[in-house]
Structure 1
């Protein structure tokens, strides 16, 4: 196969009108890592963002690189948005990953590690400990660690063992006395995940963290008696975690078993990355490369002075002794549309007005209160809900169980294909099903990503439907970390739309139309493109126009080209895209009128808002859908329209604040890179992750986008 030169590859990528999804994601993770460089952050925040970037990269290899190998391994054709085929694209992608990996470790080793001591802790190997500390550690190893270790030899008499995804592993090359070197044997010692990542030693006012691998390394010789150890090599593998559930005509009986089977397959998926400490045995690596059919560009070297698996830093960050040194998150404030939150009956409030929640600035409590009251209210007849990700020990599950106990009809569409939450979702769903709840385990080959809650309640001589629609999961934990939007309402138009949508996703119904709901995979893409084209038409007629969109990811090419056409017609377009963005802004003749911003900071930006000026008769939608192929074609999604003038102004203000931010914002360039947005001379810092705690109605009433 012809190998493309790097300059030619870069030229092909730049000439494309679209940015590669995977290369764009790496730029996003670079913005996450950039938070760890900020002088304004504490050492614990810096370690946190380094750990997040490492977790992100693990998932990227498991899913995106894993997906790429699905094409490579089975000779399936794939042309990336960059214009590159599978092999040259993999070469480019691995080069970018190698550079990012090096940046992570250089930052940790040269910037963060040397400065830990002034904050009261250090990382140390065993040899740097005092003699009495080494004895203490030896006792810990013999009693708590040694019994957990199981050496597994691979030779002509033993099959190759199953090495687990993302565990630290020692590869030990040994030779029996008198044997020739070509009779080497390779043994593996996996470090179980339930052993603490660090052993803590207190020395006066200093906490010493000794990594578990250094403890085992110091004593691993004891596992190999009467043989010569040629080399001890620490490594870690990442396996392909991408799978697609096969369609089944008998979904009810086979579906859960299919999910469980695929989950087990993740444990033995093909290896897509090896991280290994420098100085490793070439004999061992050649064996592993041949075994796993992996090339040198997928081998990531780590210096002994650095650290394996930055995910382990959470053990340091979460240490209670450092709790006071981590900046506290401000307490949530009452929603502007519901200032009396917690003091009035939520059912009575919603009969008279809609409530807009903006998390984490507003608490998730109104939703939980509504559900918990509904579970015990004798006049509530039915509760219907979609669930994508739940918190551990969720109040949601408890409320639904209580509702079933109290004789209410409860139906829940549980998405058991929510990536990496499958096992928890299956467990929670089965708990509800055993209690008598009507549980639907997903819909055919679609993921149910929409966030909907419907409560049906008798009220005197009528029935009122209480509805919640949102952009985020019904999850108490993430609601404190993710920015999301939710609407609580008794609006009959939305209630009818939601009722119809539940009939579609739990039964076999195809409504003619929804009034205030855009749904996927039915017609969301087409309707959004129509809104974009309407703005383009207004621009050509010289009328006021504008498009303002906030999403997590923008990847759907049909929508992107519609935005390009609108830009060429003169429509001013402002896009706030946290993560993947495959659109090129500011390209002459294509997208001069498009600006793309990305906000990365204390909270994970997760809300989606679509605002179209429409000659002053604005259209504003909120919901769970990003502008991605998977959102439009392979997921059950919904966007809901906000009609209330005050609530719509709140959403416009969220967009306006995002555009004004100069602390957490990065500006996307035409070539797909990003530049930090800084306050201009004389301008004060504007940090939306603080400013949203300080809102008042006066600010909302005076908001303007155009």
Structure 2
């Protein structure tokens, strides 16, 4: 008998499928070589986060003796074993792809060499680099009775060194030491070209150190030098209720994160068994040791591709974001927004209007107040500088900084301190809730009245990620949205009784309830013979109640199209349950990040943009925002984006009832359509066209 499938796909196994789709982009011969290398780096970074958060959480359950099944039918023990196998297979496939990409780059005269492959003059140059630059930074850490095993940092690269005294017997127990490969130095070191060669050659830093490491241990004989890397539990465990100063409490937790419980040990193939046994014992790692057939931590490829100059032929053509035409009509952005709402579609359109909007608010004497949420910002954020300037000019500036944005905590702490020094009122959100909503409110005095100008977005106020993530932003001065925006900030920054939202859906108060009402209304339309249709785009779908609500609508005849980039626990195409639901995922050059909802409503269409994925954490443990788009032309623009992505037959994969994904292929007489390329070429979100007008060859 065949096993009966659970109605739900396990979240972590679904994530593995997502990272496999990222790996497929590295494997795709049509992807430019240097971008294939970037995708390999992303696979590694994704796996690191998965190990340090999701696998760490399962490990905690195992240590606590937790045996209960989750709603997808997995116990922690069963899931741990399944994930070890699946991630192991992925790493093997990743390094097979790495070797293939390196062979391709070698044909383009780009090489990462082994030290032994360099000629004498090149080896001399590397020895000189080691003595002048590397050697002074290195610190050997011996392990013996007087020197205990050192605390090893998470995700840092180390060398395990075995040594013998020159006259020692071969069977004598070796000495053991650890050397950290300094992350402050470039991982890829350029090798001087030989003569007039056009080759660009590099050597990995750890290879240089291994070659000349004898200089650190004079008087001893080297037995083995092997690279290894440790991943620790990186989940913050905060007692927010008992924290008098949340900022200081998070700073303490960040220091503890470096020494969290070990989750994974990566070693290079051929690692010396004595050194491995010692590491296993000291780190208390049993079954999660991963032998790697290549350089550890391929995330270095992201920087490597960045230092290669003059090889634009090996990358996707550079995208030059356009400045929105609508915002060029007036000198001040306020004047345009007062006349009409404006949509921004990043990265095809520039992020500059957002920066300019805050800068104009800082300089405009008519502006009285600026209020904004900051979740993740870039290293040199002009928006943060403009907020500081606004406060210094005497305006009321309130900034809700989310200190608990995972892996951006340190940067956000720095911004919070800078903003406080400038005179901004900095708020760290509500206890127990992350502030994930993306909203900016400017209050301006105009002709004896106050007018509110609002920007609501699907992505962070981050000029760096706006070049690589697809996101939607809405500028509006609609009074209803402005009133809701003011109420939202009042709830986050002060004491305010529950507010009856006129336009917004806000988590955790009423967003899920509002989504349920919209889905139920489509179900009622379908049951009354008026047809029902829902299309939603998001990063992840894992909340069981939401999935059950969609199943209920599907059984009533509502047709549902979902564009879910990453995790999806809903199982589509199951007879009697979800045969009216289709799920596609698009993984391409840019990270699909926008969250959109379209409900047909028997012809009275409604469209929303949101900061929230349909996950339990977003709907119940975060401050999230869903905002309607009132302008009919802009609604149609967003519907066009959804239709375009649902028509993708180049980079779209469709989720099957088995939990696996298959590429969407064009029909025999159908033209190829790659939604991201189409959006880039034709600015489709600004054009009026029907469902068929988008299709051209790519």
> 2 CA distance for matches of 1:48 and 1:139?
30
- 1:488 maps to 475
Question: Could you say if the C-alpha distance between residues 100 and 168 of structure 1 is closer, same or farther in structure 2, counting changes exceeding 3 Å?
Answer: same
What whole-Å deviation, never above 9, does each CA across 1:328-369 have from its counterpart, x for those lacking one? Answer: 33322354xx53537542111111111111111121222222
Task: Select 2:69's aligned residue among 66, 76, 79.
Answer: 79
> 4+ residue runs of structure 1 moved beyond 4 angstroms?
179-182, 696-699
Q: How many residues align?
A: 687
Report if the CA contact (8 A) 1:649-1:701 is conserved: no
The answer on 1:290 being equivalent to 2:281 is yes
Task: Select 2:40's aligned residue among 38, 50, 63.
Answer: 50
Task: Select 2:182's aligned residue among 183, 192, 196.
Answer: 192
The answer on 1:69 being equivalent to 2:59 is yes
1:644 CA displacement: 1.3
Report if the CA contact (8 A) 1:485-1:607 is conserved: yes
1:165 CA displacement: 1.3
1:182 CA displacement: 6.2
What whole-Å deviation, never above 9, does each CA across 1:185-217 have from its counterpart, x for those lacking one? Answer: 321011110111111122310011111111111
- 1:281 maps to 272
Report if the CA contact (8 A) 2:584-2:654 is conserved: yes
- 1:231 maps to 224
Task: Select 1:595's aligned residue among 578, 582, 585.
Answer: 582
1:704 CA displacement: 8.9
Report if the CA contact (8 A) 1:80-1:89 is conserved: no
1:703 CA displacement: 4.8
Report if the CA contact (8 A) 1:656-1:704 is conserved: no
> 2 CA distance for matches of 1:340 and 1:155?
68
What whole-Å deviation, never above 9, does each CA across 1:518-558 have from its counterpart, x for those lacking one? Answer: 00011111221221122122212221210100000000000
Unmatched 5+ stretches in structure 1: 1-7
> 2 CA distance for matches of 1:56 and 1:295?
23
Report if the CA contact (8 A) 2:176-2:275 is conserved: yes
Unmatched 5+ stretches in structure 2: 694-698
- 2:309 maps to 321
Report if the CA contact (8 A) 2:679-2:685 is conserved: no
Secondary structure in 1 aligned to 2:178?
strand
> 2 CA distance for matches of 1:698 and 1:153?
64
1:370 CA displacement: 1.4
Report if the CA contact (8 A) 1:608-1:623 is conserved: yes
TM-score (normalised: structure 2): 0.95
1:591 CA displacement: 0.8
Secondary structure in 2 aligned to 1:565?
helix
What is the RMSD of the two structures over their aligned residues, measured on CA atoms?
1.9
- 1:664 maps to 651
Secondary structure in 2 aligned to 1:543?
coil
1:218 CA displacement: 0.8
1:436 CA displacement: 0.9
Question: Could you say if the C-alpha distance between residues 455 and 582 of structure 1 is closer, same or farther in structure 2, counting changes exceeding 3 Å?
Answer: same
- 1:169 maps to 158
Question: Could you say if the C-alpha distance between residues 533 and 59 of structure 1 is closer, same or farther in structure 2, counting changes exceeding 3 Å?
Answer: same
Show the 5 A alignment for 1:333-372. 333-335=322-324, 338-341=325-328, 344-372=331-359
Bigger Cα displacement from structure 2, 176-185 vs 425-434: 176-185
What whole-Å deviation, never above 9, does each CA across 1:425-459 have from its counterpart, x for those lacking one? Answer: 11011011011110012221110000111101101
Report if the CA contact (8 A) 1:238-1:271 is conserved: yes
Report if the CA contact (8 A) 1:551-1:626 is conserved: yes
Secondary structure in 1 aligned to 2:299?
helix
TM-score (normalised: structure 1): 0.94
> 1 CA distance for matches of 2:470 and 2:303?
25
The answer on 1:635 being equivalent to 2:622 is yes
- 2:251 maps to 260
> 1 CA distance for matches of 2:326 and 2:370?
26
Report if the CA contact (8 A) 2:606-2:635 is conserved: no
- 1:40 maps to 30
Task: Select 1:23's aligned residue among 10, 13, 16.
Answer: 13
> 1 CA distance for matches of 2:628 and 2:48?
37
1:632 CA displacement: 0.7
The answer on 1:654 being equivalent to 2:645 is no
Question: Could you say if the C-alpha distance between residues 46 and 162 of structure 1 is closer, same or farther in structure 2, counting changes exceeding 3 Å?
Answer: same
The answer on 1:117 being equivalent to 2:106 is yes
> 1 CA distance for matches of 2:575 and 2:435?
39
The answer on 1:542 being equivalent to 2:529 is yes
The answer on 1:508 being equivalent to 2:495 is yes
Report if the CA contact (8 A) 1:342-1:366 is conserved: no
- 2:388 maps to 401
- 1:245 maps to 238
Task: Select 1:310's aligned residue among 298, 317, 320.
Answer: 298
